Structure 1
Amino acid sequence: MKHLVVIGLVIPEPASTAAGHRMMQLIQLFSEADFKITFLTASNNIEFSEKIEIEKIEINNESFDEKIRNLNPDVILFDRYITEEQFGWRVSENCPNVVKIIDTEDLHFLREARRKAFVEKRIVEREDLINDIFMREIAAILRCDLSLIISEFEYDLLVNEFKISPDLLFYIPFLTEKIEESKTPFEERKHFVSIGNFLHEPNWQTVLKLKQIWKLIKKRIPEAELHIYGAYTSQKVLELHNQKDGFLVKGRANSVEKIFNQAKVLLAPIPFGAGLKGKLWESMQFGLPNVTSSIGAEAMHKDLPWNGFIEDSDEVFIEKAIELYQDENLWNKAQENGYQILDSVFRKDLFADSFMNKVSEISENLENHRTENYLGKILQHHQLNSTKYMSRWIEEKNKK
């Protein structure tokens, strides 16, 4: 039996984060291909994590070397570029023939560029992309044998703008196994909803935007409420709660499916970010139309009609939210659009076999694959002579 070792930045929380859901989908793909799975992490987020077998590791500690040698995996999956920085050189030293894969989740340098432009109230320029995170993230991508890219926009950016070889990349979005149409009709639903893990800055900024525009929606639909859900709700989020205005902060969602099957419209005026938005993917699955921004819908629907509206103007966003909430025919069409997007863009069988075939192909031709990636060999050499000795120095310091 082949063996996959996942090095997780955190323990997956699929009920709380899109990243957690994504990681569990990848683990399932390997499990279905009869891989033994071992999950290693230095994280301690146990309470709401998925029930998987966890083995703890330490950063900057030589105990990892013996552990990874004993595990002797066929494939290593790094959870984002940060874990490759921390453990990649140790993996290469102790298991030189393992296939190294990064799940980027989203491109962190792109998210940072957009964050900076958002804070400075301007559009993103090309030079914003070439930030410190860009240097680190691209280096990690080049050091690995394959990087998983969740967004076609980000895949095209890497290939066309930054000339990363397509041989090193694999586009694989969220995966939908079965589309089951919601049985809760328009007339049985009520209220608006927003959801998002509050450790993620774009989600906090989304709620601040909703706080600004909600009173104008409430004025037009007095009976409506806006229910705000999200894990890791901080005090600053709780302080936005206002019963009189119908702006209700609910905290962690126990069941997204139940909440989405009761709500009428999802509001997601996402101001910046990268990758795919799990809340929008889930809204399609549970038959909940939405109004979002162009950043929110980026790379999620190809040229298909959106399951609601995509608007960046506050004034138009408000009008479309009201229109979608009140017009049953429009709402039903938006719901149907969501099911069509799931079937055309996210269906699991579009990606599962080709992904595992790609992993097998690299494994069987690993030496040639790495020979073609000469920049990766250069960066691997650099990392083994910089990151390695910094880590060794920290080890010795900790012993003292």
Structure 2
Amino acid sequence: MDCLIVGKVWPEPSSTAAGRRTQDLMNALQLGGWQVHFASAAQPGAHALDLEQLGVQAHRIAVNDAGFDTWIQALAPDVVIFDRFMTEEQFGWRVARCCPNTLRVLDTSDLHCLRVARERALKTGESIQLRNETALREIAAIYRSDLTLMISEYEMELLSQEFSVADYQLGYWPFALSLSRPVPNFEARSNFIMIGSFLHAPNVDALRWCRQAIWPLIRTALPAAELHFYGSYGERYGPELHAPKDGFHYKGRAIDALATMAEYRVNLAPLRYGAGLKGKVFDGFQSGTPTVMTAIAAEGICAVPNGAQDEAVAFAKAAIKLNLDSQAWASCQQEQYLLCNERFYLPYWQPRLMDILLQAYDQKTARRARNFVGQMLCHHQHRSTEFMSRWIEAKNK
């Protein structure tokens, strides 16, 4: 089987959880014996994966370009995976027209309309409004696709209840981990860490909230403590948040996130909004670093967030306890190990991707017949997307 992944950006797994997600997809497909191609219209970043070295064929494509049609017809992939709904909007109609037998799969990475709704609610104090403008686009892309890969069971339930998306249209494929690497013990570690790309707005908000509300409480109880925060593309925020006199240190990009995190005693994830599964929490699991998290950070990881702390005082108290109490620290570490082995075990989930895709491929004719909403969108809204693209293409000429 041949699979093409159409990326919003070129994957940077050392920078973002979304990049790690794309790499996980490629690895799983290759282990299943599939030929993998990756294409993007974006410019590769300085930290993008060397796909050719990984055995993935890389292709540069362009939006609003009829050349894509000729190229995709010649490639004729069995499966196309669109990285987030924006790429499905740009290229989905072309794939559907040029390769009608190709299975079209959307990978949401996280549910964007949920993240947008939570951000607005946090900033305005209003209730969460899921049926926003982003939802109009994202849910349409889900209905137009033959299958949507979901990273969070919580978001699957939300799609079913709020937008009537059928079970057969969704496939659950979360982060999967291997916990085989040795890690330093309690005594060999010190201080606190936060990590996350500064291109992701929820990470910036979490740092600001920690700096203003949480860290002063920790610092009062532990005057010598330090918090080191790492993240790619953080140069514009470093001067704002870097405060060495208060023990709050911006450290720039972590070359090896897991090795870096393993030096610290406690991982902080004070996210106030967001969606999907949080890469920083899984970094804590893999590095054996107990993580204090809000309910948003824990969402999709456990049904009832054990130890989730949404108030600054409670969050700080939990962080201080883990920093001082070696028994509580070891107990938290063991609980997180057990959670990973029960719910995110790599040997189980890695081959599951091929099972999910092959089942959808074999059933695509029947699934398309059942999905009348998707048929309507492809007939009407998708045509408007096509004609807008064609107009831009003609204008560019």
TM-score of the two chains, using structure 1 as the length reference: 0.95
2:338 to 312, 337, 340: 340
CA contact (8 A) 1:181 1:287 kept: no
Question: Over residues 127-185 of structure 1, what are the superposed CA-to-partner deviations in whole Å (9 max), with x where a residue is unaligned?
Answer: x1000111111110011110001001001111233211110101111011x22264311
CA offset at residue 373 of structure 1? 1.2
The amino acid that maps onto 2:36 is: I
* Helix, strand or coil at the partner of 1:5: strand
1:293 aligns with 2:297: no
CA contact (8 A) 1:182 1:261 kept: no
The amino acid that maps onto 2:184 is: T
CA contact (8 A) 1:19 1:105 kept: yes
1:24 aligns with 2:23: yes
RMSD: 1.4
Residue 168 of structure 1 is matched in structure 2 by 169
CA offset at residue 384 of structure 1? 4.2
1:111 aligns with 2:91: no
* Helix, strand or coil at the partner of 1:106: coil
* Helix, strand or coil at the partner of 1:109: helix
Question: Over residues 264-290 of structure 1, what are the superposed CA-to-partner deviations in whole Å (9 max), with x where a residue is unaligned?
Answer: 001111010111100001101110001
Note the 1:235-384 alignment, pairs <5 A. Answer: 235-303=236-304, 306=306, 309-384=307-382
Question: Over residues 186-208 of structure 1, what are the superposed CA-to-partner deviations in whole Å (9 max), with x where a residue is unaligned?
Answer: 01100100001001100000010
Residue 80 of structure 1 is matched in structure 2 by 84
Question: Over residues 323-371 of structure 1, what are the superposed CA-to-partner deviations in whole Å (9 max), with x where a residue is unaligned?
Answer: 1110000000000011011101111233334431232122223222211
Question: How many residue pairs get matched?
Answer: 391
CA contact (8 A) 1:89 1:383 kept: no
Residue 45 of structure 2 is matched in structure 1 by 46
Q: Distance in 2 between the 1:301 and 1:175 partners?
A: 14
Percent of pairs with identical residues: 40
Instruction: Label 1:392 to 1:239 Cα distance change in 2 as closer, same or farther (>3 A).
Output: same
* Helix, strand or coil at the partner of 2:249: strand
TM-score of the two chains, using structure 2 as the length reference: 0.95
1:207 aligns with 2:207: yes
Q: Greater CA deviation, 205-214 or 328-337? A: 205-214
* Helix, strand or coil at the partner of 2:156: helix
CA offset at residue 216 of structure 1? 2.3
CA contact (8 A) 2:9 2:40 kept: yes
CA offset at residue 321 of structure 1? 1.0
CA contact (8 A) 1:85 1:140 kept: yes
Question: Over residues 222-278 of structure 1, what are the superposed CA-to-partner deviations in whole Å (9 max), with x where a residue is unaligned?
Answer: 221100100011323333212211110011111112211100001111010111100
The amino acid that maps onto 1:267 is: L
Residue 135 of structure 2 is matched in structure 1 by 134
Q: What 5-or-longer segments of structure 1 have no aligned partner?
A: none
CA offset at residue 29 of structure 1? 1.3
1:67 aligns with 2:71: yes
Q: Distance in 2 between the 1:80 and 1:253 partners?
A: 26
CA contact (8 A) 1:188 1:262 kept: yes
Kindly report structure 1 stretches of 4+ aligned residues shifted beyond 6 Å: none
* Helix, strand or coil at the partner of 1:170: strand
